Amino acid sequence: MLKKIFSVVKKIVFYSFLLYGYNLITKPLNVMIPINLISVGALTIFGVPALFSFILIFILIY
């Protein structure tokens, strides 16, 4: 049980830093994804494809 909790916390931290790094890289282009509970949760559950879908949604809406 403790391994599962540690694994989930590790994923949350990793994807938070991944999202922060993405926002640093794309800051000049103004294609930033907010770091909040929904975006980090979706990245934790679905992984990197969720990041691509957030980017696609942002480009289609704006």
Note the pLDDT tens digit of each residue in 8-28: 999 999 999 999 999 999 999
pLDDT at 62: 83
Burial of 24 by CB count in 10 Å (0-12 exposed, 13-18 middle, 19+ buried)?
exposed
Number of CB atoms found within 10 A of residue 1's CB:
5
The tally of domains found in the chain comes to 1
Whether residue 6 is contained in a domain is answered as no
pTM for the complete prediction? 0.86
The pLDDT confidence band at residue 55, using thresholds 50, 70 and 90, is very high
59 assigned to some structural domain: yes
- pLDDT of res. 18: 95
Whether residue 38 lies inside any domain: the answer is yes
Q: What is the pLDDT of residues 33-48, one digit of tens each?
A: 999 999 999 999 999 9
Specify if 12 maps to a domain: no
Q: Within a domain: residue 58?
A: yes
